[in-house]
Structure 1
Amino acid sequence: MSRSTSLSLLGLSIALCSSASFADTVWLKNGDRLTGTIRVFDGSRLLLQTDYGGSIPLDWKKIATLESDHELLVKLGPLEGERAKSLLAAEPGKVTLANGEAPKTVELAQIEQIMKPKPLVEDFVWKGNVDLGLDYKRGERDSDDYDVDIKTQARHGRWRHNALADYNRELKDGVVSTDNWSAEYALDRFLNEKLFWQGRFEYKRDRVEEVERQRTIGTGPGYQFWDDELGAFSVATLANRSDYRYSNGEQDRFYALSVKWDYNRYLVGKTVQLFSVGEVGRPLNGAAEYSLDAEVGLRYKVTDWASLNMKAEKDIVSGAEGDLDETRYTLGFGVGW
């Protein structure tokens, strides 16, 4: 055997041994064993990244034990967490946390979260997406449509930060028929695994419709039905103070009650996402009878970060000094993280 062939075989053997030693392993209760890289566990499913099947969500209740050579943050509650240098397989229903001191064996049912620790805030999780919709038409009637939507969410410990922003503009034969933008920030404080309290601020500006400006400050309880790798669904009931200004200079200031929802669900192996966010409210006094701001849509993942999306948006302010009833349909491209 030549020297070059021997060196090639030695390199291949080292590579294989290295890849095997750094592969995470999950044993299922039915006896199956899967290898890959543990990405995250949050709620009911463990996400295992593999080179043979992509990202595979595993039902946590079906897992017997697992091991990993990577440093992971293992949380046994909303605030209690341990930074483990590695995970060692244990008897079914348990796993051993090795952190350089005495190993600690815990039951899988005690674990609420597993993630890669962050440099500053260990349990910091940030996700979001930006959707763009553009439409240019040239003919007997020219039209230009622009639609930009940003949604992001960050969570650490018992706190969750939510931010939304969007901009819509439409021109027909050089005349602006739609020109509005809005921004919202909401802060959630979780009281337990499901129940949270929310405070939020929202501002809307419209340069075309009769309702020229909307400003809302609110607070109230919310409930998180689920939040895992396959989606999330939460509802919040808020008491709000709203200020409306109309294009004719009139103003309304009133208190209102509203219900907000935020729903998203992955389908077809996490390639298709169904989502809907919105709020419906009714003033306790003032000129408006009710208001609705909602959107529903589908997002198709082309790659891990790029997607195509289509959605419908509805804005209604009924019974006010200046009524608003606007519907938009968009098809565009987006990025997510």
Structure 2
Amino acid sequence: MMKAKGVSIILTVLFVVLAWGQASADEVWLKNGDRLTGKVVSLDAGTLVFKTSYAGDLFIKWEEVVNLKTDEPIKVVLGDETTAQGPVSPGDSGKVKVKAEQVAEPVTVDLANVKAINPKPPLRTNLRANVGFSMTDGNTDTQDIYADAEFMARTLQNRFTIGGLYKRSEDGDVKTEDKALGYMKYDHFFTKKWYAYANATGEQDEFKDLDLRVTLGVGVGYQFIETDRTNLSVEGGLSYVDENYILAEDNSFMAGRWAVKFDHF
């Protein structure tokens, strides 16, 4: 008797869980009368990505969708680039209602006017490079070579930077300068202006007896200005420095770090 009761309770719990899972699923109604359950992933270039447990990701032409329901908030982008974010409920055929947090009443949206759903953050990239060469011939023969480059990739919350420079000089047949620097940095923005960073730098300078200096650091920064032409930020944190010398004794230590970065093109 107790065993049968226990089985009954387990079956009841399973039924409730399955029923809740079914009830909490997003739903899509199509022109042909089909009604699909699953999860709205995104809409881009006229194709709705709808994730299901029974067929994986479905790619549905947006023009075939006549109604939509979601249990969790989604970001809806309209044709005029205005956005609304919130759970979506069915409306009249061809329309849905978005319960945006910033307004008291749901916003009615025409499906034909929906441009995107849950759009990916835009990726912005920037590449700069400089190369210089000079040579003199006469009483003195000199050569100078300089090159630097930096690549940056930026999304809404992340920024990746990698770069380096090289400089070499000769006077006659005698080398007078030979140094190289490489660096990479990752910034994660936890607000629009504040970010945490991690960076790594490698440096070599033969005429400073430096075989390799490696610096690893973490810290926080604040972005005052960030436009296509002007950038200004300040940051500070801690770094670990490991120095390997050609002749002198190697060294390693902890150090504080602060920096101001400003550029204008």
1:186 equivalent in structure 2: 185
Q: Which residue of 2 aligns with 1:129?
A: 128
CA contact (8 A) 1:149 1:167 kept: yes
Trace 1:14-25 onto structure 2 (pairs within 5 A). Answer: none
Note the alpha carbon deviations across 1:187-240, whole angstroms, 9 max, x for none: 000010000000011000122222332110000111101101331101110200
Distance in 2 separating the partners of 1:123 and 1:236: 25
SS of residue matched to 2:207: coil
Alignment CA distance shift 1:82-1:154 (3 Å): farther
Aligned to 2:261: 262
Deviation at 1:163? 1.3
Match of 2:217 in 1: 218
Q: Does 1:199 align with 2:198?
A: yes
What amino acid is aligned across from residue 182 of structure 2 in structure 1?
A: A
Residue of structure 2 equivalent to 1:138: 137
Work out the CA distance in 1 between the residues paired with 2:255 and 2:246: 22
- Normalized against structure 1, the TM-score is what? 0.45
User: Identity over the aligned pairs, expressed in percent?
Assistant: 19
Q: Select the structure that is richer in helix.
A: 2
- Is residue 127–residue 150 contact of structure 2 (8 Å, CA) maintained in 1? yes
CA shift at 1:134, angstroms? 0.9
* Cα pair distance change 1:100/1:152, threshold 3 Å: farther
Partner Cα separation in structure 1 for residue 182 and residue 142 of structure 2: 26
Extract unaligned runs of 5+ from structure 2. Answer: 1-73, 83-108
1:245–1:251 CA contact under 8 A, matched in 2: yes
Aligned to 2:241: 242
1:56 is matched with none
Structure 1 residues 202 and 154: alpha-carbon distance in aligned structure 2, compared to 1, 3 A threshold: same
Kindly provide the amino acid, as one letter, of the partner of residue 130 in structure 2: D
Q: Deviations along 1:45-81, whole A, 9 cap, x unmatched? A: xxxxxxxxxxxxxxxxxxxxxxxxxxxxxxxxxxx96
Residue identity matched to 1:218: G
TM-score by length of structure 2 reads 0.56
Q: Distance in 2 between matches of 1:83 and 1:229?
A: 24
Matched residue type, 2:219: G
Q: CA RMSD in A?
A: 2.6
User: Residue type of the partner of 1:193?
Assistant: K
Q: Which of 92, 107, 111 lines up with 1:101 in the alignment?
A: 111
Equivalent residues of 1:121, 1:156 under 8 A apart = no
Q: Which residue of 2 aligns with 1:176?
A: 175
**Cα distance in 1, alignment partners of residues 155 and 209 from structure 2:** 41
Written as runs of structure 1 = structure 2, the 5 A alignment for 1:1-337 is 84-87=78-81, 101=111, 103=113, 122-265=121-264, 273=265
- Read off the aligned partner of 1:101 and give its amino acid letter: L
**2:260 and 2:150 mapped to 1: Cα distance?**
14
For 1:206, the aligned partner's letter is D
Deviation at 1:140, TM superposition (A): 1.3
The residue matched to 1:208 in structure 2 has which SS?
Answer: helix
Relative contact order (C-alpha < 8 Å, sep 6+): which is higher?
1
* Alpha-carbon distance, 1:154 to partner: 0.6
Aligned residues: 163
Secondary structure of the residue that 1:242 maps to in structure 2? Answer: strand
Over 3 Å counting, the alpha-carbon distance change for 1:157 and 1:169 in structure 2 is same
CA distance in 1, matches of 2:76, 2:146: 44
Inter-partner Cα distance in structure 1 for 2:149 and 2:80: 37
**Shift, 1:84, TM fit:** 5.0
